[in-house]
């Protein structure tokens, strides 16, 4: 698998904008094992955009 197959990783700020929630909410969700999956890169959180979208779509399916 090469790097061209991946979208650029999102920061927590990017995810907050996408979901229209405060960054603080995402940190709170992480302490409760909720929210889109993130990975640590050093001291920073990074998200795969496809996983964030998948997590969000799963919420919509559960609500239906």
Q: Report how far residue 28's alpha carbon sits from residue 32's, in angstroms, rounded to the nearest whole number.
A: 7
pLDDT at 1: 53
Q: What is the pLDDT of residues 39-63, one digit of tens each?
A: 999 999 999 999 999 999 999 888 8
- Opening angle at CA 28, ends 23 and 30, nearest 5: 100
pTM, 2 dp: 0.86
pLDDT at 4: 61
The two tokens of residue 38 are 């993130």
Q: Report how far residue 9's alpha carbon sits from residue 26's, in angstroms, rounded to the nearest whole number.
A: 16
Nearest Cα neighbor of 16 from 2, 32, 29, 3 is 29
Q: What is the pLDDT of residues 7-45, one digit of tens each?
A: 899 999 999 999 999 999 999 999 999 999 999 999 999
Q: Is 29 exposed, middle or buried (0-12, 13-18, 19+ CB in 10 A)?
A: middle
């Amino acid at each position: 698998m090469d790097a061209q197959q991946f979208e650029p990783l999102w920061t927590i700020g990017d995810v907050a904008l996408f979901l229209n929630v405060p960054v603080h909410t995402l940190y709170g969700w992480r302490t409760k094992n909720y929210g889109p999956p993130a990975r640590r890169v050093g001291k920073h959180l990074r998200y795969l955009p496809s996983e964030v979208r998948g997590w969000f779509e799963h919420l919509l399916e559960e609500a239906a």
